[in-house]
Amino acid sequence: MKSCGATAPGKVILFGEHAVVYHRPAIAVPVMSVQAKVDLQETGAHHDVRIIAPDLGRDYRLAEAEADDALALIIRLALARFQQVVPPEATLTVTSSIPLGRGLGSGAAISTAVVRCLAQFYGQPLTPAEISELVYEVEKLYHGTPSGIDNTVIAYQQPVYFIREQPIERLSVRDSFTLVVGDTGQVSPTHKAVGHVRRQWQADPQRFESLFDEAGQIAAAARNVIEQGGSVVRLGRLMNDNQAVLEALGVSSSELEQLIEAARQAGAWGAKLSGAGWGGNMIALVEPERAAAVADALLKAGATGYIITEVAPS
């Protein structure tokens, strides 16, 4: 009986969320310390895939899954890609240490791990671009009009400078830097915040286009700093500037701002929300020696958890 396993990391957006939906550049990096994990074990028992997701309390069969079930959708898309008309007789188990619905790419990571696992199972390796393309189909179901940044950074598993519908540009990181990611504990459905921005943009296109431009210029400036190295203080300021734009877009929240302020007070060089906003996670750029103190300040300010992660030269 065949078996295989695959993983995929979480992600954070460093710069440019929301504006990236409107074709402005954004920067995202993988977070390797949190992972989605998929195991596939052939059973030869039930002429179908049994899907077990213990974290979600789910145990069901592929054949019975609803049309909008994300796990079933990515399995079906992958089976079609591998030209498998009949699903394998196997149990697919999904676990994840990526907090769900908090802007860390949990959905895209689970989909990526499923595709990687099935690619191994059928001995048909796919490129990151091919994996990203399949995962994007599921992102569309959940996020409405996704830019594609989440599936890209997770499938490539590398820092990216991303512009929607343009060839992927890998970001080369000159000097490592440290981030503390703080969790508000609030689930934030991406499509709601994205829909809010869209309605505001439709109501006042001139103002929103100029906010998107500002976010894009900040991401472009941040790219120079990250690629040339050295100036973390400037990078921190750019994060603060991006947070101001996100507040103007209306996607921040008092909980996020409480954590952002606590991180700045504790000595972070800069801090901002990361992902869709209205809950989810924030990130703070810190001196490595201050990471523990900033994490502690976040917990005192109400964070339900934190991750300390290093973005290494690439």
Q: Would you please indicate which residues are annotated as catalytic (active-site) residues? A: 150
Q: Which of 9, 10, 101, 146 binds ligand MEV (CB under 6 A)?
A: 146
The reply on whether position 102 binds ligand MEV by CB under 6 A is no
Q: Output b/e per residue, 196-207; b: 16+ Cβ within 10 A.
A: bbbebbeeeeee
Size of the chain in residues: 314
Nearest-approach distance from CB 283 to ligand MEV, in angstroms: 12
Q: Which residue is nearest to ligand MEV (CB)?
A: 147
25 makes contact with ligand MEV (CB under 6 A)? no
- Sole binder of ligand MEV in the list 4, 6, 13, 40 (CB under 6 A): 13
- In the chain, the amino acid numbered 284 is A
When binding is defined by CB under 6 A, the residue of 106, 151, 190, 309 that contacts ligand MEV is: 190
Asked if residue 183 binds ligand MEV (CB under 6 A), the reply is: no
Residue 98 lies near ligand MEV (rule: CB under 6 A): no
Q: Which is nearer to ligand MEV, 82 or 142 (CB)?
A: 142
In whole angstroms, the minimum distance from the beta carbon of 144 to ligand MEV comes to 8
DSSP string, the chain: --EEEEEEEEEEEEE-TTGGGGT--EEEEEEEEEEEEEEEEE-SSSSSEEEEEGGGTEEEEGGG--TT-HHHHHHHHHHHHTT-SSPPSEEEEEEE-SPTTSSS-HHHHHHHHHHHHHHHHTT----HHHHHHHHHHHHHHHHSS--SHHHHHHHHTS-EEE-TTS--EEPPPSS-EEEEEEE------HHHHHHHHHHHHHH-HHHHHHHHHHHHHHHHHHHHHHHH---HHHHHHHHHHHHHHHHHHT---HHHHHHHHHHHHTT-SEEEEESS-SSSEEEEEE-GGGHHHHHHHHHHTT-SEEEEEEE---
Size of the site for ligand MEV (CB under 6 A): 15
Q: Which among 122-130, 142-150, 209-217, 263-271 is the span making contact with ligand MEV, rule CB under 6 A?
A: 142-150
Q: Pick the binder of ligand MEV from 4, 6, 14, 17 (CB under 6 A).
A: 17
Q: Which is nearer to ligand MEV, 88 or 107 (CB)?
A: 107
Task: For residue 276, state whether it binds ligand MEV (rule: CB under 6 A).
Answer: yes
Please identify, using beta-carbon distances, which residue of 143 and 290 lies nearer to ligand MEV. 143
Report the distance separating Cα 76 and Cα 73, nearest Å. 5
- Which one of residues 111, 147, 151, 188 is an interface residue with ligand MEV (CB under 6 A)? 147
Q: Which amino acid is at 277?
A: G
- Binders of ligand MEV in range 36-75 (CB under 6 A): none
In the list 4, 6, 20, 117, the residue contacting ligand MEV (rule: CB under 6 A) is: 20
With CB under 6 A as the contact rule, the residue among 6, 171, 194, 295 that binds ligand MEV is 194
Q: Applying CB under 6 A, which of residues 65, 78, 126, 149 lies at the interface with ligand MEV?
A: 149
Q: Encoding tokens for residue 142?
A: 């959940």
Comparison of 91 and 242: residue with beta carbon closer to ligand MEV: 242
Q: Which residues bind ligand MEV (CB under 6 A)?
A: 13, 17-18, 20-21, 103, 143, 146-147, 149-150, 190, 194, 275-276
